Structure 1
Amino acid sequence: MPLPTPRTRIQKKNIQTIMDAALGVFSQNGFRGATLDQIASEAGLSKPNLLYYFPSKVAIHRALIAELMTTWLDPLREMDAQGDPIEEILAYVLRKLEMAREFPRESRLFANEIVQGAPNIMDQIEGELKTLVDEKAKVITAWISQGKLAPVDPYHLIFSIWATTQHYADFDAQIQGILPDKGTARFEEAATFLNHMYRAMLRPQIASAAH
């Protein structure tokens, strides 16, 4: 088979422009509400030009989700079984919160897809994501059995981390409505709160010596 022709600099630039435009349109309107015309307009390209690079709305969405899954899962992959358990988990919590700050559109894109039943990414959720979560759940279970963590359900711990960090991206308008004067300080305050909450929850209880 002949090798695929390498993309030119202009082609790479146009693909990235389309991806950036689609991220904004999908994160605001969801998959069903987004249209190719909206994406093309946002990208500053004609619809035929857009279709030269991506044959359908589904193709653009899948490309975005594939890119997002890599970015989203990297912090969980970095959780080191040989590290200090509480510090490893707290590093994951704080990195996820920072991602909510740095990548709010990506978070909302993912949330919109999940709310709709994950029709375009269920294979990735049941495959790559589940495999990674199962792997890290075993690490957390081992830490608990070694007495290094308080006994918690590892899966619900991971779910709670997602909920308490991604909330700051997915529901940012609500937070800003309630805390209008906080600005970016809301993330620093959230980091302090989550650090305290998870440390208190995960710290193993040392039984006092019997007298």
Structure 2
Amino acid sequence: MKRAKSKNLMGQGLALISGYDIFGTETETEEVELVNEVEEKKVKEKEKDRDKEKRERKMKAENTGDSVDTVISKDTQLNGSISSNSNIKVYGIVKGNITSENNIVIMGEVEGDIIGKSVEILNGNVVGNIKSETLVKISDNSMLKGDIVCQSFELNGQVEGNALVHNTATLGNCAVIYGNIEAQNLSIQEGAIVDGTIKVVKDNTHTA
């Protein structure tokens, strides 16, 4: 009888190793649930750490001025000049010069000169000169009173001033310009109005 009992215990031990007792009941369920809870807790902690890092990076960017855009909101009027390394978006009113090493978008009003990598006037009004390293784009329902110096020029709004374009100037069917245009390449769509002289030259990059 003792041998039989010992044999049954050995069998029970083997059954336990395989995950079941001699009656076929699972023994590892609770352990698996505990492991899952621990893993879920670790995942949640990692997510919290990532969220914390994102908040810290955002705060650092705001504190150092290294934000993606400088924005003048619709209900804001700024009396003074703006100088920034980031993109600038103007929805409100700026009475002063605007300078950026990146892109400038005007959807409000500006009284002052604008210098940027690219300058776009989208449903906005500007009184002042514009100088761009690349593109000046003026959409329909937009107006500029001032001169332009740029690499490429796209006009579908109204300009009262001269445009010196070192590459291609494109006048859309809604374009109106009261002034002179000088460019290496010129495209004028039907419906555009030019009240001034047009000069197409091979190289005008030496001109300021």
Question: What TM-score do the two structures reach when normalised by structure 1?
Answer: 0.21
With CA pairs under 8 Å and 6+ residues apart, which has the higher RCO, 1 or 2? 1
Instruction: Give 1 or 2: higher helix fraction.
Output: 1
Question: What TM-score do the two structures reach when normalised by structure 2?
Answer: 0.21
Larger radius of gyration between Structure 1 and Structure 2 = 2
